[in-house]
């Protein structure tokens, strides 16, 4: 992968980190809310943020180190990616059962369901942005060739899948930092 695309990918990743950090800062809990322990779903959101960030960073590293066609040409890299995905999402899924078992009483109530429902908007925005970015980037790179390597279909799918999961986790975490009014 050439220097230009490597730099672009790394800068994009840095931009994502800065934007997410700014969002978290703008929605930081006020003083009186800081002593509220995290709800079970909130804990799941934080775990999801960590897992999807790690998987996304892993995918980025594989693309930078091996190339955009790593899934097709490099067995070790491809297996590494599958393991990363299975272990990462497996941990996220398993953590919910652990959280449920450790929580006494109700685990998800109306406030949690409202936050979960609203987290979809963050997920949607991120998925749309990623699809727009992919469409523009691939059109500009391959418009002269008239064809696009099929490996990019895998990259588009997996990166958007991970981005969507990241967006859902982020939406959950942000939701607990905002005031919620349930429409009765």
Residue 110 in contact with another protein, rule: CB under 8 A: yes
Ramachandran region, residue 101 (left: φ > 0; alpha: ψ -120 to 50; beta: rest) = alpha
Binding segment for another protein among 15-23, 39-47, 79-87, 118-126 (CB under 8 A)?
Answer: 39-47
E strands, 29-178, are none
Residue 40 in contact with another protein, rule: CB under 8 A: yes
Task: Report CA dihedral (55, 19, 41, 108) to the nearest 10 degrees.
Answer: -130
Q: How far is the CB of 26 from another protein (least distance, A)?
A: 17
CB 110 within 8 A of CB 182: yes
Q: How far is the CB of 25 from another protein (least distance, A)?
A: 19
Of positions 14, 15, 33, 98, contacts another protein by CB under 8 A: 33
Binding segment for another protein among 9-17, 54-62, 82-90, 101-109 (CB under 8 A)?
Answer: 101-109
Q: How far apart are CA 111 and CA 180, in angstroms?
A: 7
Of positions 3, 105, 143, 145, contacts another protein by CB under 8 A: 105
């Amino acid at each position: 992968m050439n220097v230009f695309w490597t730099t672009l990918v790394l800068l994009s990743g840095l931009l994502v980190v800065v934007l997410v950090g700014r969002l978290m800062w703008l929605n930081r809990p006020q003083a009186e809310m800081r002593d509220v322990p995290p709800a079970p779903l909130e804990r799941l959101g934080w775990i999801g943020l960590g897992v999807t960030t790690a998987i996304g960073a892993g995918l980025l590293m594989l693309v930078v180190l091996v190339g955009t066609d790593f899934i097709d040409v490099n067995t070790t890299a491809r297996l590494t990616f599958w393991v990363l995905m299975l272990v990462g999402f497996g941990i996220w899924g398993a953590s919910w059962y652990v959280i449920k078992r450790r929580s006494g009483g109700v685990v998800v109530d109306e406030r949690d369901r409202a936050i979960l429902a609203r987290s979809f908007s963050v997920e949607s925005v991120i998925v749309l942005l990623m699809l727009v970015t992919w469409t523009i980037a691939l059109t500009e790179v391959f418009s002269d060739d008239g064809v696009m390597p099929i490996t990019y279909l895998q990259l588009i799918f997996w990166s958007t899948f991970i981005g969507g999961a990241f967006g859902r986790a982020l939406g959950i975490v942000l939701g607990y930092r905002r005031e919620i009014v349930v429409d009765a």
